C-alpha cells in the first residue's frame, strides 16, 4: 500500500529545489486523482498545526495522501515542534514531502526525518567538475529530447555554472520539437539564451594552464553574469596565497599540504596548490604575489584604470607567468 514515506528536500538553488519537489510529488501521486490525494501548503499563511492535521488525516477516497510543505525554512527551529512530534509516529497512509529552500536544515528536524525512516534529498548540483559532468549527463539521458554529442557539449559550455537553467531549456526544446526528438547543436543553439556564469575554479584552472586567451574568455563570462572584480581578484589571491604558504613548507603529499593549509574535507584544493607550486617555483610564486599587490593598489585608484581592466591585466599576467 502506498503511503508512509517522508522526504526532506533541501538545496540552495530554489529552481532545482522546486523541480525536485515537483518530481517527488508526481512520483508519489502516480495515476491517482490529484484532487483526492494531494494537499499542498505554501506561502506565508499556513501554520504547522494545519499541516500536521492534514498529515494525520486518513484518506477518504484513495489509498494514501500526499502532503507537501513548501518553504518550511521560514519557520524557526522552535516552531517545528509539532512536525517533529508527528514524525515520531507518522501516519502510515501519508506521504510527506518537505521543502527546505534556504539555509541549513535544523538538526532536530533532520534527525526526526531519519528516525522516521524517511530520507533527505539534496537538490543542488554537486561540487567538482567531474561530479557536475556526471549530474548533467544523467539529466540529459532522462530528458524528453535526445541531444547528440555536439549539442550536449554546447549546452554544458553555454550554461556554465548555471545548470539550474537546464530543466527549462529541455522543456522548451520538447515543446518546440516534440518529445523524443533527436537534436543536434544547430537545433539547440537558438534556444540557449545568454551565456551562464562559470565557477571560480574555471578561472584559476585557466590561469594555472598558462592559457591567457581562455583566462580572458572566462573573465568575460564572469562579467556578463555580474561578478564583481573584487570578488574575482579575491578568488585569485586565495589561490596564489595557498601556493605561497606551501612553498618551502616541506609538504610531500596532498594530506600534508592540506594540513599546512588548514583544509578540512577534500584534499583536492591542496593538490592544485601543490601542482601550482611545482609549476611556478619559488621565484614564480614571489612574482605572482607582487602582481597581486600591484593589482590591489590599482584597484584602490593608483592607476586610474577600471576595476575590470585591472582584474583582466592581473589574470593575464598570472597566466603568462604559469607557462
CA distances from 30 to 34, 139, 219, 258 (A): 9, 21, 46, 48
CA 185 to mean position of chain CA atoms: 25
Confidence of residue 2 (pLDDT cuts 50, 70, 90): low
* Residue 72: closest CA among 41, 96, 95: 41
Interior/surface letters 282-312, b for 16+ CB within 10 angstroms, e for the rest: eebbeebbebbebbeebbeeeeeeebbebbb
Q: What percent of the chain is modeled with pLDDT above 90?
A: 48
Q: Give the pLDDT mean for 314-318.
A: 94
pLDDT in tens, 205-246: 999 999 999 999 999 888 888 889 998 999 999 999 999 999
Considering only residues 22 and 2, tell me which one the structure prediction assigns the higher pLDDT: 22
pLDDT in tens, 88-139: 999 999 999 999 987 789 999 999 999 999 988 888 777 777 878 888 888 8
Q: Phi and psi dihedrals of 97, rounded to 5?
A: -120, 120
Q: Are 66 and 35 in contact (CB under 8 A)?
A: no
Query: Which pLDDT belongs to residue 208?
Result: 94
State whether residue 218 is helix, strand or coil.
helix
Q: Are 93 and 64 in contact (CB under 8 A)?
A: yes
Q: What percent of the chain is modeled with pLDDT above 70?
A: 99
State whether residue 172 is helix, strand or coil.
helix
* Residue 318: closest CA among 296, 297, 290: 290
* Residue 168: closest CA among 200, 191, 138, 146: 191
Confidence of residue 157 (pLDDT cuts 50, 70, 90): confident
50 grid coordinates = 494545519
Q: Which run of H or of E encompasses 312?
A: helix 307-321
Query: Which pLDDT belongs to residue 319?
Result: 94
Query: Which pLDDT belongs to residue 17?
Result: 87
Choose the weakest-confidence range: 1-10, 72-81, 208-217.
1-10
The tally of CA atoms less than 13 A away on the side-chain side of residue 32 is 21
- Is 3's pLDDT higher than 70? no
278 grid coordinates = 611545482
Query: Which pLDDT belongs to residue 93?
Result: 92
- DSSP class of residue 61? S
- Is 1's pLDDT higher than 50? no
Query: Which pLDDT belongs to residue 291?
Result: 94
Length of the chain measured in residues: 323
Considering only residues 157 and 66, tell me which one the structure prediction assigns the higher pLDDT: 66
Q: Are 90 and 119 in contact (CB under 8 A)?
A: no
- Is 193's pLDDT higher than 80? no
Distance between CA atoms of 186 and 201, rounded to whole angstroms? 29
* Residue 211: closest CA among 51, 115, 320, 99: 320
155 grid coordinates = 549546452
State whether residue 135 is helix, strand or coil.
helix
User: Please, what is the average pLDDT of the chain?
Assistant: 89
Amino acid at each position: 500500500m502506498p503511503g508512509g514515506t517522508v522526504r526532506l528536500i533541501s538545496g540552495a538553488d530554489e529552481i532545482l529545489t522546486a523541480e525536485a519537489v515537483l518530481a517527488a510529488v508526481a512520483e508519489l501521486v502516480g495515476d491517482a486523482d490529484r484532487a483526492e490525494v494531494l494537499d499542498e501548503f505554501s506561502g506565508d499563511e499556513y501554520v504547522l498545526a494545519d499541516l500536521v492535521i492534514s498529515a494525520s488525516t486518513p484518506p477518504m477516497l484513495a489509498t494514501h495522501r500526499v502532503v507537501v510543505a513548501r518553504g518550511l525554512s521560514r519557520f524557526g527551529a522552535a516552531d517545528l515542534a509539532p512536525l517533529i512530534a508527528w514524525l515520531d509516529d507518522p501516519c502510515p497512509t501519508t506521504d510527506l514531502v518537505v521543502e527546505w529552500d534556504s539555509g541549513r536544515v535544523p538538526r532536530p528536524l533532520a534527525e526526526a526525518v531519519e528516525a522516521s525512516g524517511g530520507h533527505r534529498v539534496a537538490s543542488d548540483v554537486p561540487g567538482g567538475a567531474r561530479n557536475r559532468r556526471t549530474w548533467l549527463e544523467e539529466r540529459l539521458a532522462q530528458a524528453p529530447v535526445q541531444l547528440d554529442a555536439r549539442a550536449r557539449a554546447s549546452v554544458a559550455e553555454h550554461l556554465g555554472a548555471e545548470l539550474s537553467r537546464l530543466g527549462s531549456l529541455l522543456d522548451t526544446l520538447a515543446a518546440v520539437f516534440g518529445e523524443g526528438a533527436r537534436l543536434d547543436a544547430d537545433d539547440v543553439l537558438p534556444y540557449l539564451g545568454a551565456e551562464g556564469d562559470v565557477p571560480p575554479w574555471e578561472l584559476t584552472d585557466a590561469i594555472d594552464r598558462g592559457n591567457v586567451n581562455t583566462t580572458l574568455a572566462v573573465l568575460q563570462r564572469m562579467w556578463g553574469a555580474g561578478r564583481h572584480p573584487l570578488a574575482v581578484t579575491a578568488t585569485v589571491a586565495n589561490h596564489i596565497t595557498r601556493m605561497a604558504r606551501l612553498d618551502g613548507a616541506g609538504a610531500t603529499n596532498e594530506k600534508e599540504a592540506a594540513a599546512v593549509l588548514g583544509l578540512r574535507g577534500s584534499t583536492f584544493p591542496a593538490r592544485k596548490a601543490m601542482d601550482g607550486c611545482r609549476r611556478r617555483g619559488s621565484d614564480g610564486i614571489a612574482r605572482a604575489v607582487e602582481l597581486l599587490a600591484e593589482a590591489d593598489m590599482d584597484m584602490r585608484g593608483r592607476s586610474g584604470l577600471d576595476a575590470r581592466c585591472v582584474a583582466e591585466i592581473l589574470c593575464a599576467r598570472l597566466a603568462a607567468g604559469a607557462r
